[in-house]
Structure 1
């Protein structure tokens, strides 16, 4: 796949969770076909039904649910939105299905109960862990770690930026394109090694939310030209 390849269908692995449903909602509203994936078909269908209540009849036709592997096989782009504790197992089970595809990894290495303390995996970040597990046949992109699902499920303009990391410019351009499709501002944050910053910032935002009594703290890049 290259940046010229048109992305029509997005598979959201573990899409029954809050973050997955928020991203699915935004991409469907932007005109993409989205398949919510789950290890349990019934859970996938329930998530689809819940989101359908917020969509028009025409938009509902763009949304479906399926088992994770089947969802990935039908897509040009996969997105991983699972708790860190399931990260390795799910990626290992889908390695063959993900070969030749781009994968946006939204996972943050949160380790309860210390979710407001930054945790660094042995590989350096969850995204780097994903790349090492999947090998060179899959191109991993890191994005969306610092955005609240509550904001994604709203129809309001979101004052939050997204840092996009990937091993090359082409991967980062694809990641930025998908970020912009959700209505958010995307920034090229460099190689996949830099994903440690975005992932770690989530724990900082959790701490800030606790201190401020809020839920939707995010980040913005300032003092540079904005589109």
Structure 2
């Protein structure tokens, strides 16, 4: 797997920051994106300090970050997702877009998956930017674990869904940046309808058992 230029849209949030750190450590060029270029640059400096070595990471506003990369990862809250993706559509067109957005609600019983008109956040992004190739991945990784632990998360798997095989192959390879092994193909993009709300189950498990749970798929040869 060669090195990529990866824009992390929402890179100042917990999930985005953790994924940006992991990609940078693996030798990829990382552009942290935020609505505020100043906040993005502050996060880039934090990542450089956390990485413990020289890494290629900088911070820009979301539009400039996407324009500077060949892969764009959406790590943004569900609230405002439609508006943000619509605004960035010109820059996202023609790129590989990875969505790890989880449309979740919370009430007194805990987290739950929200109904999405298009089926899932990933499918909404694909409809909003038909010129991009959208792949769903990295939904179930703990933001705290990504940021605080130094080693590979070799006890977890990254599930990858999408309709374009070449794009899925790139993301399957990129997943090894996090876990040390390729991601697992999880079917077409419509399967994001199951993957995204599954995050609510993991959050509930974490609360019940005071842990940071993840997913590992058995029966797949190493």
1:67, 1:115 → 2: CA distance? 33
Q: Which residue of the partner structure matches residue 72 of structure 1?
A: 66
1:1-80 equivalence runs, <5 A: 7-59=3-55, 62-80=56-74
Deviations 1:135-184 (A, max 9, x none): 1x100010000010122122123111111011121121011111112235
TM-score scaled to structure 1, two decimals?
A: 0.91
Q: 5+ residue gaps in structure 2?
A: none
Residue 86 (structure 1) shift: 1.9
CA contact (8 A) 2:120 2:192 kept: yes
- Secondary structure at the residue paired with 2:184? strand
TM-score scaled to structure 2, two decimals?
A: 0.93
Pairing 1:101–2:95 present: yes
Q: Which residue of the partner structure matches residue 164 of structure 2?
A: 168
CA contact (8 A) 1:161 1:220 kept: yes
Deviations 1:11-40 (A, max 9, x none): 011100011111111111110110000111
- Secondary structure at the residue paired with 1:51? helix
1:225, 1:126 → 2: CA distance? 30
- Secondary structure at the residue paired with 1:84? coil
1:42, 1:105 → 2: CA distance? 24
CA contact (8 A) 1:7 1:77 kept: no
- Secondary structure at the residue paired with 1:26? helix
1:119-134 equivalence runs, <5 A: 119-134=114-129
Pairing 1:179–2:175 present: yes
1:149, 1:208 → 2: CA distance? 15
Pairing 1:197–2:197 present: no
1:130, 1:57 → 2: CA distance? 35
1:139, 1:120 → 2: CA distance? 23
CA RMSD of aligned residues (A): 1.6
How many equivalent pairs are there? 218
Q: Which residue of the partner structure matches residue 106 of structure 2?
A: 112
Q: 5+ residue gaps in structure 1?
A: none
